[in-house]
């Protein structure tokens, strides 16, 4: 991030969001809302003086709400740029930060502003969110947490400085249960596999075991899916380290109100008995969901979504980078959850693909496009409903018109028109009739 921030050809618009995209490849007009930080970016040095004097504490979103942060603070230690911002909804306007700032960077008069940019190509990399239902007592019992929260606990810059402690009493848990496939591979929630959960449970259980060899760790799973280079071997090493992997479904979980331990019932596959065990902490490997930004950008950029909610590519296997809109490309988990190595590969592929038309400064397309026939149009507008590219609209006279840049010549509109009022250029009925007459002449 620091290298990107220092690069002369890269401009980072942090604390911003895309609100509108118009145009086409090579000529996109993008509107970006730059949210007010209430801190002047050109004056703020990130010294932290304002944070020290601020009296208001908030839950820390970066630590997955396991710690607190000040109302004015830098988002996280490695944030780029390292500039504070004020959470105005929680600010009591005591102005202690104003008095403490030597550079006079605090500006409560700031407002959101819209920046318009001329863009040639666009890469979407909006990431993913985590499923957070109340499964297995999450959000109800203190010591039931998600893998992401565990990641923050095990991080050296996390709320417990990398040492495993449970939220309820900050004591180290010895007996720990991991539950895989929470909210995924389930017809009631999300049918798809979230890809990374099995490897994540292996990694984090092994990290805990490496620091605390006397830990008793059990991983409950439906199927262990550790596909990929060296992943299966890593799974085997975790088993050799003494971590128990048991196939079975978890039933009821109850909390002991005094000790805050968790009594868990589950039925291992291959047995007819229900086992009850007590754990000091339960870790949920929850489903990966399309991020809020993914859903917002899909509507802004007119990008289709697959049934699982992720952004739709041209072809899931043969072309996972391009979208139906020329000049807009996908990278990472906005297209579907994937491991770090695959994310890096797709990001490099997206950067290379976007660079091709930018380098040549031209984009060539075949104008096999839909052409409306006004005198035949019955104004049923079925073609508009059928067009997957949003290329057909209605003009001021109520007649259909086709955007030749957005149209891809797929022919769906022609097939759905009951009046034969729209045809593809170079593939018109009279052309086909001429071909047929030439190939199958009728002798007199």
Q: What is the pLDDT of residues 302-358, one digit of tens each?
A: 898 999 999 999 999 999 999 988 999 999 999 999 999 999 999 999 999 999 999
Residue 219 pLDDT greater than 90, yes or no = yes
Domains of the chain: 129-289 (3.50.50.60), 370-439 (3.30.70.20)
Beta-bridged to residue 119, according to DSSP, are 28
Q: What's residue 126's pLDDT?
A: 94
Share above pLDDT 70 across residues of the chain, in percent, rounded to a whole number:
100
Distance CA 60, CA 63 (A): 5
pLDDT tens-digit series, residues 155-214: 999 999 999 999 999 999 999 999 999 999 988 889 999 999 999 999 999 999 999 999
What is the pLDDT confidence band of residue 249, given thresholds at 50, 70 and 90? Answer: confident
Where are the extended beta strands (E) located within 44-191?
A: 57-59, 68-70, 72-73, 85-86, 113-119, 122-124, 128-130, 144-146, 175-182
Q: What's residue 427's pLDDT?
A: 86
Q: Tell me the torsion sign for CA atoms 69, 71, 72, 76.
A: positive
Mean local confidence (pLDDT), 23-46 = 94
Distance CA 399, CA 221 (A): 57
DSSP 8-state assignment for residue 222: S
pLDDT tens-digit series, residues 353-390: 999 999 998 888 888 999 999 999 999 999 999 998 88
pLDDT tens-digit series, residues 137-148: 999 999 999 999
264-286 residues labelled b (16+ CB within 10 A) or e (exposed): bebeeeeeeeeeeeebbbbbbbb
pTM as predicted:
0.88
pLDDT tens-digit series, residues 270-317: 888 899 999 999 999 999 999 999 999 998 998 989 999 999 999 999
Mean local confidence (pLDDT), 394-400 = 89
Q: What Å distances lie between residue 265 and 136, 146, 205, 278, CA to CA?
A: 11, 19, 21, 9
Residue 444 pLDDT greater than 70, yes or no = no
244-255 sheet: strands from edge to edge = 144-146, 281-286, 175-182, 216-221, 244-255, 262-268, 275-279
Residue 443 pLDDT greater than 80, yes or no = no
Q: What's residue 319's pLDDT?
A: 93
Place of tokens 């911003």: 16
Mean of all residue pLDDT scores within the chain = 93
3-state secondary structure of 377: coil
Residue 3: is it exposed, middle or buried by C-beta count within 10 angstroms (0-12/13-18/19+)? exposed
Element (H, E) at 149: helix 147-154
Q: What's residue 272's pLDDT?
A: 81
Mean local confidence (pLDDT), 103-130 = 96
Q: Angle 234-336-250 (CA atoms, 0-180°, nearest 5)?
A: 60
Query: 139 is written with which tokens?
Result: 């959000």
Phi, psi of 25 (to 5 degrees): -50, 130
């Amino acid at each position: 991030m620091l290298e990107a921030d220092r690069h002369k050809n890269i401009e980072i618009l942090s604390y911003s969001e895309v609100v509108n995209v118009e145009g086409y490849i090579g000529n996109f007009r993008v509107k970006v809302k730059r949210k007010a930080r209430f801190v002047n970016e050109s004056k703020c040095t990130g010294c932290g003086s304002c944070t020290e004097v601020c009296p208001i504490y908030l839950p820390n979103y970066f630590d997955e709400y396991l710690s607190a942060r000040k109302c004015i603070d830098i988002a996280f230690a490695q944030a780029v740029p390292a500039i504070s911002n004020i959470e105005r909804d929680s600010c009591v306007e005591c102005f202690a930060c104003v008095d403490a700032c030597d550079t006079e960077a605090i500006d409560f008069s700031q407002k959101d502003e819209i920046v318009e940019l001329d863009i040639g190509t666009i890469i979407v990399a909006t990431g993913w969110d985590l499923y957070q239902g109340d499964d297995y007592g999450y959000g109800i019992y203190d010591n039931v947490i998600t893998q992401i929260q565990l990641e923050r606990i095990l991080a050296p810059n996390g709320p417990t400085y990398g040492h495993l402690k449970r939220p309820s009493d900050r004591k180290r848990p010895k007996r720990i249960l991991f539950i895989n496939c929470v909210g995924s591979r389930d017809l009631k929630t999300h049918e798809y596999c979230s890809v990374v959960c099995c490897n994540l449970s292996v990694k984090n259980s092994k990290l805990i075991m490496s620091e605390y060899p006397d830990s008793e760790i059990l991983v409950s799973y439906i199927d262990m899916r550790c596909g990929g280079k060296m992943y299966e071997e890593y799974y085997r090493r975790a088993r050799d380290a003494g971590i128990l992997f048991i196939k079975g479904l978890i039933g009821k979980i109850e909390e002991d109100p005094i000790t805050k331990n968790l009594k868990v019932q589950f039925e291992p596959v291959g047995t007819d008995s229900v086992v009850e065990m007590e754990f000091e902490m339960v870790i949920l490997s929850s489903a990966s969901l399309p991020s809020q930004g993914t859903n917002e950008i899909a509507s802004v950029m007119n990008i289709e979504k697959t049934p699982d909610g992720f952004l739709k590519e041209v072809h899931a296997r043969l072309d996972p980078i391009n979208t139906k809109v020329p000049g807009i490309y996908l990278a990472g988990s906005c297209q579907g959850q994937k491991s770090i190595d695959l994310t890096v590969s797709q990001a490099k592929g997206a950067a290379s693909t976007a660079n091709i038309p930018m380098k040549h400064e031209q984009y060539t397309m075949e104008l096999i496009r839909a052409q409306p026939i006004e005198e035949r149009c019955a104004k049923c507008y079925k073609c508009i409903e059928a067009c997957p590219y949003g290329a057909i609209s209605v003009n001021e006279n109520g007649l259909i018109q086709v955007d030749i840049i957005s149209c891809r010549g797929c022919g769906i509109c022609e097939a759905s028109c009951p009046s034969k009022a729209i045809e593809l250029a170079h593939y018109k009925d009279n052309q086909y009739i001429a071909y047929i007459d030439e190939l199958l002449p009728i002798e007199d």
